[in-house]
Structure 1
Amino acid sequence: MKHIKNNLLILLFLVFSIGYSQEQLTKKEAVSLALENNYGILLAKNNVKIAENNASIYNTGYLPKLTASSDVDYSNTSTDYTLQSGTKTTTNNAETATYSGYLSLNYTLFDGFGRVYNYKKLKESYNLSELEAKAIIENSLLNVFELYFEVARLTEDAKNILESLTISKQRLTRANYAFEYGQNTKLQLLNAEVDVNNDSINYLNINQLLKNSKRDLNLVLGRNISTEFNVDTAISFDSLFEFETVLEKAKNNNIEIQKLNKSIVLNALDIKLNKSDLLPTLSLNSSYGISETDNDNSYTYANYLNKGLSAGISLNWNIFDGGTTKTRIQNSKITADNLQIEKQQVNSNLERAVANALETYNNSLFILKAEEKNVETNIRNFSRTEEQFKLGQITNIEFRQAQINLLNAKSSLNQAKYNAKNTELTILQLTGELLNIEF
C-alpha cells in the first residue's frame, strides 16, 4: 500500500501545480497574441511593407534623374618640338590644373506607356502581397484555434480521467477496509490496486500530452513556451450553413480565389508592358557645367574658364530586337490562358472543398448529439452499477467495465465536439470569414 500512497501524493501535487496560479487564456487573447507575435505573421507584414515601398512613385521612373559630378585633373609634362626648319624647342615640367563640375538632368518623356503599366503593376503587386499576408494570417489563426481547442480537449479529458481516478481510489479504500475485516479476498484488493495504477498512468500521460500541447500553442503565439495557462473549454455552434450560400461566399471571398484573380490582372499588365517595348522612347537630356584650367608660364594662356548649358532630345526606337519582345508577348498570352485554366481548377477544387467540409460538419454535429446521448446513458448506467456494486450485487469486473465505458464516452464526446468546431472554422476560412469571428 505504501507505493500506492506515494503515487497518490505525486498525483495530488501534480493537480495542485497544474491548477495553481495560471492565467486564463481566452480565445480573443490568443488571437491578439498571435497577430502581435506570431513569426509567420510578422514576416508577412514585413513583406507587405516591402511591396508598399516598391509601389511608391520613387520606383516607377516617373521622376527625373539629377546627377552631380566634379573632376580635378593635374598634369606635369615635358615636350620637345621640332619645326620644319629644324629648329627645336623644349618645354620642361609644364603644369596644368583643371577643375570642373557638372549638373546633368535626364528625363524620359515617353517610353511607350511602359511607366504607366509598370506603376499599375506595382500597385497590383502590393494588393497581391496584402492578400498573401491575409492568407498567412488566416492559416496561422486556424493553427492557433486548432491548438487552442486541442488544449481544451486534453484539459477536459484530464478532468474526466481524474474523476475516474478518484472513483478508483474510493473503490481501493473500500476494498482495503473490506479485506481487513475479512469481507473481500486478496484478489479483489489487488484488482482495485491495479485499476488505480492504470488510472494514475493514464492521468500522467494525458497531462504530459496537455503540457506538450500548451508548449505548441505558446510557440505559435510567439511567447515563452513555458508560460502556464488555462483555456476556456466552452464551445458553441452558432453557424448554420447552406451549400449554395457557402459556395457563393467562397467564390467571392476566398483568399486563394482573390489571389488568382489578382494574378490574372498582373498578367494582363505584363502583356501591355511587353507591348510597350514596340514603341519608341523619347528622352530629354540637359546639363550645366563649369570647367576652369590653370596653366603655368609655359603656356600662352595662364587661365581659361568654360561654363554653359547644354540640352537635347533623343528618340530611340528598337525597330527589331531579334524577336525577343515578340516572344515575351506570346509567352505572356500563354500564361494568361494557363491562369484561366487554373481558375477553373481552383473553382472546382473550392466547390469540392465546400461540399466535403459541409458534409463533414453536418456529420460531426450528428455524431456530437449522438455522443451527448451516449454520455447521458453511460452516466445513468454507471450510477445504477455503482449502487449495485455497493450492495455487492455485481462483480469488480462489471463495475470497472461501466467505469471505463463512461470514461470512453466522455472522451468520445470531447473529440466529437472539437472536431465539429474545427470543421466549422475550416468552412469560415473557405468563405473568407475566419478573420471576422467575434468572441
Structure 2
Amino acid sequence: MKNFKPNYMKYLVLFFSFASANMAFSQSEMSLQDLVNTALEQNYNIQIFKNNQRQAVNSNTAGNAGMLPDVDLTGEYRVSQGNSNQQFFNGEGQSATNATSTSLSGNIGVNWVVFDGLAMFARKEQLEKLELLSKEDVRFYIEQTAFDVAQTYYRLAQEKKLLESFRTSLRVSQTRYEFEDRAFDVGSSNGLDVQQALVDRNTDSSLVLNQKAQIRELEIELNRIINRELTSAITPTDTIELTGDFNLVNLMEESRANNAELNQQQLLELIALSDAKIARGLLFPEVELFGNYAYNKQENEVGFLSSSRQFGPNFGLRIRFNLYSGGQERIRAENLSIEAESENYRSSDLQNEVEASVRVAYLRWISRLEQVQLEKESVEAADLALKIASKQYEIGTLTNVDFRVIQLNAVNAQSRFLEAQFAAKSRELELQRLSGKLMSSVF
C-alpha cells in the first residue's frame, strides 16, 4: 500500500525551491500606462532616436543650407632676423648682423554665394523635411515600443490567468488522487486507478511549472523593453477589455493621414525630390559676391625700405561655371530624378500595403470577437460539466477516464478563451497602431 502513496517530501522540496525563486523576483503591480511611461523615459532606442531628432533640429538652419555669407578674419605678426651683406651698382654697400624685420598684417573677408541655381533653397527645404522625418522616426519607434509593451503586457496577464486555471485543475487532480488513495486503503479501488490519478496529478503539476517559467520569460522581456531590472516581477493590474469600436471606412482614412510609417515614406519622397533639385542647381552658374579689407605694415633694419604700410578694401563679383566635366553633373541630376520617381512608387506601394494590413486586421478583429463569444460559452458549459462530473465521480457513476476527459475539456476551454481574448486584443492594438491612434488609446 505504501508503494501507491505520494512522496510528499519531493513535492515540499519543489514547492520551497519555487518559493525561493519567487522571492528573487521583486513584486511590482503595474498598469499598462505605467509600463509605457517607463519605456518612454528609459528605453535606449527611444533615447537614440530623440538624439537624432535633436541633431536634425540643430542642422536645420539657413547657414547650413548655404544661404548666408562666410566671414573670415586673419591676422599675423612676424619677426625675422638675419645677416645681410648688400653691394649696390654705385659701388656702395651695407651689411648688418642679426638685422630685424617685423611685419603686421590683418584681413577680414566676406564671401557670399547669391545664386547657385536655387540649390540653397532646395537644401533648406531638405533640412526642414529631415527635421520632420526625425520627428516621425521618434513617433514611429515610440508607437512600435508601446505596441510591443502592450502585446507582451496583455500576454502576461492572460498567461497568469491560465496559470490559475492550471492550478485549479491541479487541485482537482490532487483531490481525485487523495480520493483514490483513501478508496484503495479501504479496498474499494485498485492500484491502477491510484497510479493513473497520480500520473494525472503530476501532469498537471508539470503544466503549472511550465506556465510559471513562461511567465518569467514574459516578465524578463517586458523589463528589457522598458530598461528595468530584468529580475523584477510584474503583476498586471489591467485586464483585457475589448472596447474598440472600429469602422473600416474611418480606419482607412485615418491610416492614410496618421500612419507613422506612411508619413515617413512620404517625407523620404520629398527629400529625394530635394536631392534632385540640388543636383539640377549645379548645372547653373554660381554667382558670388566677395569683399576684403586688408592692412599690412612692415619695418626693416636693412634693405631698400625702412618701413611700409598698406591698407584698404577690395571687392567684386565672381562667377563660376563648369563648362564640361564629362556630363557628370547632368547624369547625377537625372539619376536623382529617377530615384525621386522610385520613392514615389515606394510611397504608393506602402500605401497599398497599409490599406491591405488595415483590411486584414479588421477582418481578423471581427472574427476574433465572434470567437471570444463562442469560447466564453464553451468555458461556462465546460465548468458546469466539470461540477456535474465531480459529483458523479464521487458517487462512483463516472469512470476515471471519463472524468479526466471532462477535466481536460474545462482546462482547454479556458485556454482557448484566453487565447481568443488575447488575439482579439492584438488585432485591436494593430488597428490602433495602423491608424495612428495607439498612444491616445493607451493614455
| TM-score of the superposed pair, with normalisation by structure 2 | 0.91
Match of 1:137 in 2: 142
The question of whether the paired residues in 2 share the 8 Å contact of 1:11 and 1:200 is answered with no
Distance 1:371 1:11, change over 3 A: farther
Q: Does 1:218 find its partner at 2:223?
A: yes
Shift of 1:88: 7.4
Q: Amino acid of the residue matched to residue 413 of structure 1?
A: F
SS at match of 1:278: coil
**Partner residue, 1:370:** 374
Partner residue in 2 for 1:23: 28
Match of 1:172 among 174, 177, 182: 177
Mapped to 2, the partners of 1:376 and 1:15 lie a distance apart of: 32
Structure 1 residues 18 and 160: CA distance shift in structure 2, 3 A: farther
**Are residues 17 and 159 of structure 1, via their aligned partners in 2, closer, same or farther at CA, if it must alter by over 3 Å?**
farther
Match of 2:396?
392
| Kept after mapping to 1: 8 A contact 2:101/2:299 | yes
1:49 and 2:54 are equivalent in the alignment: yes
CA, structure 1 residues 388+2, in 2 after alignment: closer, same or farther (shift >3 Å)? closer
Match of 1:425 in 2: 429
CA distance in 1, matches of 2:361, 2:217: 28
Is the counterpart of residue 411 in structure 1 residue 415 in structure 2?
yes
Offset from partner CA, 1:100-159 (integer Å, 9 cap, x none):
222222222333322222111100111112112222222211111111122112111111
The answer to whether the Cα contact below 8 Å between 1:246 and 1:354 also exists between their aligned partners in 2 is yes
Cα distance in structure 1, aligned partners of 2:293 and 2:250: 68
| Contact 1:278–1:319 (Cα < 8 Å) also in 2 | no
* Conserved 8 A contact 2:276-2:340: no
**Distance of 1:250 and 1:352 partners within structure 2:** 11
Deviation at 1:321, TM superposition (A): 4.0
Q: Give the structure 1 partner of residue 336 of structure 2.
A: 332
1:354 aligns with 2:394: no
The aligned residue for residue 155 of structure 1 is 160
1:147-188 Cα distance to aligned partner (Å, 9 max, x none):
112211211111111111111222222223222233322222
Q: What does residue 194 of structure 2 align with?
A: 189
- Percent identical across equivalent pairs? 24
**Partners in 2 of 1:433 and 1:146 — Cα distance?**
16
Q: Which position in structure 2 is the counterpart of 1:435?
A: 439
Separation in structure 2 between the aligned mates of residue 417 and residue 358 of structure 1, nearest angstrom: 15
Structure 1 residue 410: Cα displacement = 0.7
Q: Distance between the aligned counterparts of 1:223 and 1:229, measured in 2?
A: 11
SS at match of 1:67: strand
Write the letter of the residue equivalent to 1:116: F
Alpha-carbon distance in structure 1 between the residues aligned to 2:72 and 2:249: 61
Go from structure 1 to structure 2 and tell me whether the alpha carbon gap of 1:16 and 1:81 turns closer, same or farther (over 3 Å shift): closer
Residue 343 of structure 1 is aligned with which of 333, 347, 350?
A: 347
Rounded Cα–Cα distance in structure 2 between residues aligned with 1:354 and 1:337: 26
The runs of 5 or more residues in structure 1 that have no matched partner are: none
What is the count of residue pairs matched by the alignment?
437
Partners of 1:63 and 1:103 lie apart in 2 by 16
Indicate the SS of the match to 2:78: strand
Q: Shift of the alpha carbon at 1:78?
A: 4.1
| Cα distance between partner residues in 2 of 1:21 and 1:438 | 25
CA distance in 2, matches of 1:366, 1:108: 67
Mapping 1:176-255, distance limit 5 Å = 176-232=181-237, 234-255=239-260
d(CA) in 2 for partners of 1:290 and 1:274? 40
Residue of structure 2 equivalent to 1:66? 71
Flag structure 2 segments of 5+ consecutive residues without an equivalent: none
Change (3 A) 1:89 1:16: closer
Q: Is the 8 A contact 1:71 1:99 kept in 2?
A: yes
Question: Conserved in 2, the CA contact under 8 Å of 1:156 and 1:233?
Answer: no
**Distance between the aligned counterparts of 2:89 and 2:300, measured in 1?**
27
RMSD value, Cα: 2.4
State the distance in 2 between where 1:372 and 1:233 align.
Answer: 20
